[in-house]
Amino acid sequence: MSDELFDSVDALLAAVSTGLPAPAERKRLRLAAGLTPAQVAAALRVNSTLVVAWEDGSAVPGPDVVPAYTRLLEGLAARFPAFEQQSAAPVAPQPQAPAQALEQSAAQVPQPVMLDQNPDGSLLMAAAAPCVQCGQPSVYRAQGRPMHLGGFCRPATPATEAAVEATHQPTPAPAEQRPATPTPAAAPVTSEPVRPAPTASPAPAAPRPATARPAARPASARPAAPSAAAARWWPAVALDAVDGGWVLDVPQIPAPAGTKLGDWFAWLGTGLPLRVERAHASGRGGDGMVCLTAGALKQLGLPATLPATEKALASLQAKLVKAAAVVGMEISDQIGPSFHVFRRTGSAGGPKTSVRVTIAPWLGQGDSRQQATSALAAPLATAPDGTKDGLTLTRRYRAFTTDLGAAPGATTATTAMLLLDAVRPRVEWVKDETTGEWSSHLREGALPKGDLCVPPAAGARHPLTRDLLSRGEAVCEEEDYKWWARELTEQEAVRPWAVAVDVCASYLSVTDSLRLPVGPLEHVKNPAWDGGKTAGLWWCDFTGTPVDELLPHPATFHGQPPTGPGWYATPTVAYMATTYGFDPSTITHAYLSTHTAPLLKEWTGRIRGGYKRAYADLGLVDGQASAEFLAAYAVHKDVGADPVRADALVLAGLYKNIYKGGIGKWADSARHLDDQVWLEKIAGSWSYRPEIRFHIIAAARIAAHRRLRKTLQLTGRAPFAVNVDSYLYAADAPSPLELLPVKDDGTPVPGALRLGIAPGSHKHESSIPLAAVVEAMERREHPSKLVHHYTTDGTPIGPEQGTDGTGNDDEEGGN
């Protein structure tokens, strides 16, 4: 017994001697910075489970890591001080009789109020000041005085009484804000304020595993959010029910006052701190999301599955409409796994508001239209065991919006367009100082609407393309490499293995600074070549320009030499001129953009940042040694029960599909629409610009060819088959390590073949016995079809476990 006591005391002394903040404060600092345990662990070179243990007090950092951990926490504390450090020193509370304390507590309960609004119905916001009800900072006003959104006040404390008294004095409106017209407080719809009711939200006896899951990158840490409001806005919250009470996975958000359907609608209309913040000053924010779990559905009396018949669905909708109308709220015309609940300006019950509601157990149910509105929510909500979990959905949703700065759309392609509009808004609103009216106009450098297609680059479905092809004339064919292969050399034929490597995020490796045709294309005769500064299409003849024989031709998607002149995008022409000596003065025609700019710079930064953060949580980071990367990549999909890794794997897949789908969107064929509707809705949209896609595809293909060429020059090794961005090399061992050019110190050569997760680097797909490759080529089959029939160590897994496509799970060419 004494030994156990001594051990306990020694552990206590060790904890005290570290000089670190309390475990709870360590966790607060990490969450305030938006860091995951895996990120902290990677920086400190420890296991992520240790970081979690340090934060719950079950373990103590060792002396070897304490100095670095202290440095991290001190840096975070300087940037994210605790609220107590920002407030006045606390005043010692005076003892009170129980009855007196109860009366004072009741008097301090915040009452529902009508907050001041702008003419458009949005809430008036000003500099943060102490709320007149609770003393905590608020950016909102009620009759000109600082006050919180409904249900967000906390009881006042003696430490804030002085601040509260100060706010009872008239407060002048900021110079940049118009004084709000005093409005009488609206009468509450219910007799009780909409706030967390102690009797309705009992604390569970033990934490639920679902609610204890770590939150990935809280939205409050989003750099673009204003500091005064950053901690108040959350993109999503999950509402769960436990033992007759409510549990939310964001404790800063108040719970509904009761458990009835009407209480829930009243709660939605109180102005909850839910919102997707705008990513650009000229952009727009988005509605926040409330996700209902299976427990919440049961408590609200809603069906566990979405009604399958029209009669049952209509009955459910009538029930929801009736409950919402009591508090002045409305719901979307269509009910499905995801719908909107909103209140119009001037409606009874409170200010204008709008919230998206997602019901996790209903995801994947309903007709095609209902499922389409929540297509991306389904994978975000899918837990490792395959169930649709609301807590999983909101945790990943917050990470998604924090990474990208925009909420998920209906599809990955539309999400990519929403993100582009969020980080580089097309429209800017301007106020007429004379009339006071607002009007919108395109921002400088924005993509214009309308059918701006030119004949050589109008896309496969456009009438201009059909007309050209019917007359036997050429159109632009800038595409990814497709099914190129050559005969094996004598040296390659005696090697026993074919090693397949694949480019990681090849488009993201070029779109950051790529100059794209933003303005319309204009026809120019005998154009002057400016070194590739102007985006456009050029009529070039590369038939007389010699290229490397062991590599696919850099200017054609089939890899074979062109047989005559054709239309090529600027990246292709620039590469042929600088690398192979093509003479640009021979160009006779061009379609040149009236405005050229790196259109996707901000877009690329957002997606690439999220992509890298997701893979970092899976143990894949920039700068890893080749052998270390291969080992980490081999197990990166083994997430087990770790929610951080499971979330990261889902998010990484979504981010890859978003940039692929977004680039494919520029040439959207929308096969479900007839020709006339397609011309009006698709070809006339700003998001339909095939020439932009041609430039991106050309740049990615040229970047790949440049890496292949440099590797050939340094090592004498070239791929004998290429499909999209998957390359097959003959090798002496089932590993790509022998293919990598390295410096004398063993580090990779820039611009050549290298392993890694960063965009433009490569990963090992599989190793195939060369005999199997030769047999496939003798059958006139492309050898890349074998890629998914073998593991990376050369073990056959059979065609039934592979895929029929390219053998490339990161195929960039799919739209």
Sole residue written with tokens 């304490």: 66
What pLDDT, on the 0 to 100 scale, is given for residue 92? 43
Sole residue written with tokens 């106009």: 441
pLDDT at residue 121 greater than cutoff 70: no
What pLDDT, on the 0 to 100 scale, is given for residue 140? 61
The amino acid occupying position 129 is A
Sole residue written with tokens 């036997």: 472
CA atoms within 13 A on the CB side of 730: 22
**Encoded tokens for 558:** 């089939």
Q: Pick the closest to residue 350 from 147, 181, 113 (CA basis).
A: 113
Give the pLDDT confidence of 395-411 residue by residue, as tens digits.
Answer: 999 999 999 999 999 89
What pLDDT, on the 0 to 100 scale, is given for residue 127? 64
Q: How confident is the model at residue 125 (pLDDT cuts 50, 70, 90)?
A: low
Give the pLDDT confidence of 373-389 residue by residue, as tens digits.
Answer: 788 999 999 998 888 99
What pLDDT, on the 0 to 100 scale, is given for residue 557? 96
What's the per-residue H, E or C state across 302-366?
CCCCCCCCHHHHHHHHHHHHHHHHCCCCEECCCCCCEEEEEECCCCCCCCCEEEEEEEHHHCCCC
Q: Within 10 A of 681 (CB to CB), how many other CB atoms are there?
A: 13
What pLDDT, on the 0 to 100 scale, is given for residue 155? 41
What pLDDT, on the 0 to 100 scale, is given for residue 463? 95
What pLDDT, on the 0 to 100 scale, is given for residue 303? 95
Pairing of strands 338-343, 353-359: antiparallel
What is the rounded CA–CA span in Å between residue 725 and residue 165?
Answer: 67
What pLDDT, on the 0 to 100 scale, is given for residue 136? 60
Count Cβ neighbours within 10 Å for each residue of 413-440 and write b for 16 or more, e otherwise.
bbbbbbbbbbbbbbeeeeeeeeeeeeee
Phi-psi region of 645 (alpha: psi -120 to 50; beta: other; left: phi over 0): alpha
pTM equals 0.72
Give the pLDDT confidence of 181-207 residue by residue, as tens digits.
Answer: 333 333 333 322 222 333 333 333 333
Give the pLDDT confidence of 587-625 residue by residue, as tens digits.
Answer: 999 999 999 999 999 999 999 999 999 999 999 998 899
Pairing of strands 536-540, 589-593: antiparallel
Q: Which residues on neighbouring strands pair with residue 522, listed in sequence order?
A: 592
pLDDT at residue 6 greater than cutoff 70: no
What pLDDT, on the 0 to 100 scale, is given for residue 745? 86
What pLDDT, on the 0 to 100 scale, is given for residue 590? 97
What is the rounded CA–CA span in Å between residue 59 and residue 76?
Answer: 21
What pLDDT, on the 0 to 100 scale, is given for residue 114? 55
User: Residue 609 burial by CB count (10 A; 0-12/13-18/19+): exposed, middle or buried?
Assistant: middle
What pLDDT, on the 0 to 100 scale, is given for residue 807? 40
Instruction: Give the helix ranges, DSSP H, for 666-753.
Output: 675-678, 690-715
In the chain, the percentage of residues whose pLDDT exceeds 90 is: 57
Pairing of strands 497-503, 353-359: unpaired
Q: Is 488 helix (H, G, I), strand (E, B) or coil?
A: coil
Q: Which helix (H) or strand (E) holds 162?
A: helix 158-167
Q: Within 10 A of 72 (CB to CB), how many other CB atoms are there?
A: 18
Q: Which helix (H) or strand (E) holds 766?
A: strand 762-769
Q: How confident is the model at residue 348 (pLDDT cuts 50, 70, 90)?
A: confident
Pairing of strands 353-359, 137-142: unpaired
* Residue 124 DSSP class: P
**Cβ(164)–Cβ(135) below 8 Å:** yes
What is the rounded CA–CA span in Å between residue 149 and residue 137?
Answer: 11
The gap between the terminal CA atoms of the chain, to the nearest Å, is 68
Q: Which helix (H) or strand (E) holds 29?
A: helix 23-32
Q: How confident is the model at residue 57 (pLDDT cuts 50, 70, 90)?
A: confident
What is the per-residue DSSP string for 53-76?
HHHHTSS---TTTHHHHHHHHHHH
Q: Pick the closest to residue 730 from 421, 478, 494, 393 (CA basis).
A: 494
pLDDT at residue 581 greater than cutoff 60: yes
Average the pLDDT over 792-814 and give the result.
Answer: 56
What pLDDT, on the 0 to 100 scale, is given for residue 231? 46
